[in-house]
């Protein structure tokens, strides 16, 4: 009992020394496992304040990558949204060809695939183009991508595989080839414009 009482007294003494910012000798540090940060004033009121570590890390990342951070600019075109991604303001400018291609893409999808569709935004990145949406009458989502991950993808739950569904899949594949051709030209045009501006 006496040993635990002495140990508590010694811990209190070490704590007081630490809080009074007195120099803690190595014996106390070793004996009680006390760790301190260099340059931390334990009597300062800021010691007990909460630190937002996440925010400080995000601020540091923003400071380090501000110049290389991608910028985005969205454009609403006939009920759809086209989002351009780039590093400079000139890469975010919408051209007439891009606007026309987007309008044609939506119109051709309605005509060739399904008129019951909800479209998500079409993203134009420097190295790929992504577009997705939902075909309501089959309750499936489609995803088109060209560039880094070429292909057409579908997502759904418990889809009945019948002739109508297979016909829809074939329509999606056929339309994807048109989509790929049209947007590959747009991507090439954007890269060409970017090189001539530099």
Task: Give buried/exposed letters for 96-115 (b at 16+ CB in 10 A, else e).
Answer: eebeebbeebbeebeeebbe
pTM of the predicted protein model: 0.61
Q: Where are the domains of the chain?
A: 2-49, 71-197
The pLDDT, as a whole number, for residue 68 is 56
Per-residue pLDDT band for 173 (boundaries 50, 70, 90) equals: very high
Mean local confidence (pLDDT), 97-114: 92
Mean local confidence (pLDDT), 118-134: 92
Closest CA to 184 of 97, 79, 94: 97
Task: Provide the β-strand partners of residue 84.
Answer: 73, 124
Q: Which residues contact 185 (CB under 8 A, 6 or more apart)?
A: none
**Region of poorest pLDDT, from 45-54, 82-91, 126-135, 141-150:** 45-54
DSSP 118: E
Closest CA to 129 of 73, 87, 188: 188
Mean pLDDT of the chain: 79
Return phi, psi of residue 11, to 5°. Answer: -65, -40
């Amino acid at each position: 009992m006496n040993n635990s009482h002495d140990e508590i007294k010694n811990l209190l003494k070490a704590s007081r020394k630490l809080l009074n910012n007195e120099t803690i000798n190595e014996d106390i540090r070793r004996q009680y496992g006390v760790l301190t940060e260099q340059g931390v004033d334990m009597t300062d009121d800021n010691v007990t304040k909460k630190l937002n570590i996440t925010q400080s890390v995000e601020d540091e990342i923003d400071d380090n990558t501000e110049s290389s951070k991608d910028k985005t600019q969205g454009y609403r075109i006939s009920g759809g949204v086209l989002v351009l991604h780039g590093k400079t303001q000139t890469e975010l400018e919408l051209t007439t060809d891009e606007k026309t291609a987007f309008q044609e893409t939506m119109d051709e999808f309605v005509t060739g695939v399904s008129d019951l569709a909800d479209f998500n935004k079409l993203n134009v990145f420097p190295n790929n183009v992504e577009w997705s949406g939902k075909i309501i009458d089959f309750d499936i989502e489609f995803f088109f991508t060209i560039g880094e991950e070429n292909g057409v993808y579908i997502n759904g739950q418990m889809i009945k595989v019948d002739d109508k569904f297979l016909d829809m899949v074939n329509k999606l594949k056929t339309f994807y080839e048109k989509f790929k051709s049209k947007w590959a030209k747009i991507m090439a045009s954007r890269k060409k414009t970017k090189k001539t501006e530099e």
